[in-house]
Amino acid sequence: MLFNSLKFAAFFPAVTLGYFVLPHRLRAVWLLAASYLFYMCWNPRYALLMLASTAVTWAAGLAMERTAHRKAVLAVSLVLNLGILFIFKYASFVLDNLNAALAVFGKDPVLGGFSVLLPVGISFYIFQAVGYTIDVYRRRLPAERSFLYYALFVSFFPQLVAGPIERSTNMLPQLHEKHRFDYERIKSGLVQMLGGYLEKMVIADRLALLVDAVWQQESPGGAAAWLAVFFFALQLYCDFASYSDIAIGAARVMGFDLMRNFDSPYLAPTLGQFWDRWHISLSKWFQDYLYIPLGGSRKGLARTCVNLLIVFLVSGLWHGAAWTFVLWGAAHGVYSVIARLTAAPRARLRQRLGLPAGLHRVLSTIWVFFFVSLTLVLFRADSLPAAGRMFAGLLRWDTPLDWAALGLDKPDFIVALAAIAVLFVFDLLRAKGGPVRDRFLARPLWVQWPVLLAGLLALAVFGMYGEGYVEQPFIYFQF
């Protein structure tokens, strides 16, 4: 069930109404049933997979409080859960590459034709469940006694299939609280949801028309190729950030506070700051559960560089079982290592050149956006040859810009640019003063209502009812 569908337009109000009408003791049951119904709209059988992961991690949490062999229990839980993730997401990739290597030496394949349908959101809910078991192992919180509340923690529908990847220390206590109908919270949540829908349906899905048209060409090149590269960077941001905004807003309507997942990432002047602001819940997950356990930056420069490479390679694989994602993660890892190794000489060079701090920040921000956009060619490509064709097209300027062939006329292009400009202004305001939503809601009603009506009108005219609009799934559903 997509957020940007009529099904969800009926589902969410019904679930919210039932949640506030029911007595407190039944609310968790209601939300759990709604969450599983939400997930089963994709493939009912895979709900059993989520239930199995939930049962294993819940039992592991209880067992770690009742035995001296805590590390063994944690290891079993990790093997079972990451094993599920491996089978459904990586087994085919590993076997295909193993068979390709065996073929070079004239050997028979180990196993051919292995393929399974990837369950929606499996990387998100398994990482959330694994994070819980590690938190219990580290004694950051006691094991959850109630299977009902723990199952709801794993499956809570707003953030189930594309995050944010919630922490047990934040979410589990909230599930036990009694949430009352709060007009201000509901209004705040609905405003954030509206912003998410505008990002998704007015910007991301419109940019997708041009991006997809260019990528479908045999030999993309010239201005169209460069537009597709930069527009995909913006499409991906708006697509993913919009899901997070809708999820966070929907949860806030019901009284829950989810963690922030984006913080104006394309205004970051360094790649490190970009990752501190992009998909924050995953970046923090890797920091707390992989980078720091590996030693972080505590064991010398060489070990720090190795740890950075490992984290980015794993991050690339988390996004997908393909060499394109491996190389995408490797590119960010190598860049981060080079930035760490050259930090001191670059600082001396800036001082010698006497660059004003403001100018340096602007130039650095442009460069980071340029680098991220180029590496996203690997992220978007279906294969390494497809990525190679796009990179080659960026070096070729013999292809004229044909709007009709791209499926996007000039008025659509102008609308897209105007929406991007509005997004840029909002990101600037957010970077300088925190959530724009809170400052907007502090304004008088005579200011709020015209803006809200304008947003709804833009959603109707340029979004779902716009010419050529096709309901698009969120990009991160595939992960």
- The 10 Å Cβ neighbour count of residue 390 is 24
Number of Cα atoms under 13 Å in the Cβ half of residue 328: 25
What percentage of the chain carries pLDDT values higher than 90? 46
Q: How far is CA 436 from CA 195, 375, 429, 457, in A?
A: 10, 30, 7, 20
User: What pTM value is reported for the model?
Assistant: 0.88
* Lookup result for tokens 């709900």: 47
Q: Active site residue: 69, 176, 319, 360, which one? A: 319
Q: Are 196 and 243 in contact (CB under 8 A)?
A: yes
- When pLDDT is averaged across residues 116-131 and rounded to a whole number, the result is 88
* Average pLDDT rounded to a whole number, residues 355-367: 86
Q: Which residue has the higher pLDDT, 40 or 220?
A: 40
pLDDT in tens, 261-308: 998 899 899 999 999 999 999 999 999 999 999 988 888 888 999 999
Higher pLDDT, 97 or 54: 54
Residue 193 exposed, middle or buried by CB count within 10 Å (0-12, 13-18, 19+): buried
> Taking a C-beta distance cutoff of 8 angstroms, is the pair 472, 208 a contact?
yes
- 373-377, 398-402, 458-462 — most confident range: 373-377
Q: Does residue 65 register a pLDDT over 60?
A: yes
Reported as a pLDDT band with limits 50, 70 and 90, residue 117 is: confident
Q: Judge contact between 272 and 237, C-beta under 8 A.
A: no
Residues 6+ away with beta carbon under 8 Å from 269: 360, 361, 364, 365, 368
Active-site residue, 69 included = no
- The pLDDT of residue 145 is 94
- Using alpha carbons, select from 205, 206, 181, 216 the residue that is nearest to residue 380: 216
CA 111 – CA 94 distance, rounded (Å)? 11
Q: Of 307, 334, 329, which Cα lies nearest the Cα of 316? A: 329
What distance in Å separates the CA atoms of residue 338 and residue 150, rounded to the nearest whole number? Answer: 42
Band the pLDDT of 465: cuts 50, 70, 90. very low
Query: Each residue of 306-325: pLDDT tens digit?
Result: 999 999 999 999 998 899 99
